[in-house]
Chain A
Amino acid sequence: LAKTTQPISMDSYEGQEVNITCSHNNIATNDYITWYQQFPSQGPRFIIQGYKTKVTNEVASLFIPADRKSSTLSLPRVSLSDTAVYYCLVGPMNRDDKIIFGKGTRLHILP
């Protein structure tokens, strides 16, 4: 399983775009990159998943460079309700492999 490194915490202001970068230098060819969001006292919630280039959904965008050694979760125009912990996961496509969560990035949105 590829090890991931992300900032422990980040602060931003309402209305700003927030970019959280995750490093995964030893990502394997068949690894996908997945991001989850967790609010206090709740279980994590899937945000977005990608393999290469750019993926966008109604919540966020995921940018993955050609070497795939890092990825950036982009949250457009954040609000106070985006205050949460964001987890970057890197894992293979094999459905039998367990999912490992790291420490995540604690994002704090200020008014």
Chain B
Amino acid sequence: KAGVTQTPRYLIKTRGQQVTLSCSPISGHRSVSWYQQTPGQGLQFLFEYFSETQRNKGNFPGRFSGRQFSNSRSEMNVSTLELGDSALYLCASSLARRGGPHPRNEQFFGPGTRLTVL
């Protein structure tokens, strides 16, 4: 089974521009989460989508947004880029079971998109 794929793998932008990153989850996974990773702040949760709806959100400004399509593929967008947005952006997918209680499902991470803002 193919893993989580993210495109592009590397991206260079300049301040003020916007960027869209794409994530294709593992087939059958309906939950997609996005994380930002920087050396100083570590791995930080951005948001999670399930069935085309955002069901969790981290503490990031409104410049960071996302969406999920009916095939579970997800995109995240960052507008008005700042130097501090330079980071590795990771996408993770998981099965989402109904009912409970049960432990949070294992997340499968993609290789990430390395964004550099100049």
A93 touches B103 (CB 8 A): yes
- Chain A proximity mask over B82-118: 1 for CB below 8 Å, otherwise 0: 0000001011100011001111111111111010000
Known pairs A42-B111, A43-B111; A95 contacts B45 (CB<8 A):
no
**B interface bracket (residues with beta carbon within 8 Å of A):** 20 to 34
A95 touches B104 (CB 8 A): yes
CA distance A92 to B56 in the complex (A): 14
A98 touches B90 (CB 8 A): no
B97 touches A95 (CB 8 A): yes
CA distance A46 to B55 in the complex (A): 22
B109 touches A34 (CB 8 A): no
Q: What is the CB-to-nearest-CB distance from B113 to chain A, in angstroms, rounded to a whole number?
A: 11
Instruction: Give the chain A neighbours of B96 by CB distance below 8 A.
Output: 95
A34 touches B42 (CB 8 A): no
Does A81 count as interface, using CB distance less than 8 angstroms? no
Interface size counted on chain A using CB atoms at 8 A: 28
Which partner residue on chain B sits nearest A102 by CB separation?
B42
Instruction: Give the chain A neighbours of B44 by CB distance below 8 A.
Output: 101
B contacts, CB < 8 Å to A: 4, 33, 35, 42-45, 48, 55-58, 88, 90-92, 96-97, 100-112, 114
A contacts, CB < 8 Å to B: 30, 32, 34, 36, 38, 41-46, 49, 51, 87, 91-104
